[in-house]
Amino acid sequence: MRTFFLASAIFSIGAFAALAQADQTDLDSSRADELQRSLEAKAVRIPRSSLAAALSAPSGGRSDKETTRRFRPDWNAVREDLDRTAAEDGDNEGSSDETTLPTGEIRRLPGPLSPRPGLRARAPEQMQRVARAEVDGVTIPVLTPANPEVRDKLKMYGQPNAFTASGAIDDAAMVSISGACDRVVGGAPPVRDLRRRLSERLPTLPGLRADYQISRSEFSTDLTFAKFGCGYVISIECTDADADERCTGDDYIIKLAQSMWVLNAERAGESE
């Protein structure tokens, strides 16, 4: 299975995400300015400092020059995932506070109960801070965490081929998710070889059945995954990144990523 990652998209939507973060009305201006500077720096630095950059695309091109290409999402695959999750849920949508780690170990997760792993449809109107107008113009699957701790704190900003949603979890941490269907292809042979080797041993998110990678920088903890031909990255920024378990460990960000809502499910099944 070919794996596509979002590292290239961080360049294309980094400034957009920074402006979106800064526009949150529930943050004071100094905090917004700080977030904007952080995200602008991340847009420049993460693709070169994170292994996600090496995994940004398979070695589909043979040119030594890296180029960015735009791809269309697989909406039929979205419908298949929605149907599979619905069948697994049965009549009752359960909740789970456990996750299966890549090692096979089942670990109990801290915090409020989350929906079981999988993809489910939700209308923008069911989100407290998401405007339908921001969703309707986006042509890729708009995915947001279903976790009750964050889902109603996200404010979304959309573009035709990208989106970002962000919000404050509490006074000590913020979360954002961004998505795009742009991919980096080509590059020097050693870079292409590294992508191939690493993509062969990535763990898989329960429920979403998507390969993922977690990376850390001085700015945030990031979980990058590929789904439906697009790339997504969930980022958590902590005031005390060296002590807050949401940034120092993997459990919390995996919990957010393994259960997702798609906010424009009416597109599922479209052929574009």
Residue 245 pLDDT level (bands cut at 50, 70, 90): very high
Nearest alpha-carbon partner for 208 in 25, 66, 77: 77
CB 145 within 8 A of CB 165: no
Asked if the model's pLDDT at residue 26 lies above 80, the reply is no
pLDDT recorded at residue 72: 86
pLDDT for 186: 59
More confident residue, 175 or 270: 175
Q: What is the pLDDT of residue 179?
A: 94
**Sequence-ordered strand ranges (E) for the chain:** 67-70, 95-96, 98-100, 106-108, 114-115, 118-121, 143-145, 155-159, 162-170, 173-180, 182-185, 204-205, 210-216, 221-227, 230-238, 259-262
Q: What is the pLDDT of residue 270?
A: 61
What pLDDT score does 202 carry?
84
Alpha carbons 20 and 67: distance in angstroms, whole number: 26
Looking at residue 105, what is its pLDDT? 53
pLDDT of residue 114: 60
Instruction: List pLDDT tens digits, range 129-157.
Output: 999 999 999 999 999 999 999 999 999 99
Token pair listed for 179: 């998505």
pLDDT, residue 187, reads 59
**What is residue 46's three-state secondary structure?**
helix
User: What are the tens digits of pLDDT across the range 183-211?
Assistant: 666 556 666 665 666 566 789 998 899 99
CA proximity to 37, closest of 204, 189, 218, 163: 218
Domain boundaries in the chain? 7-267
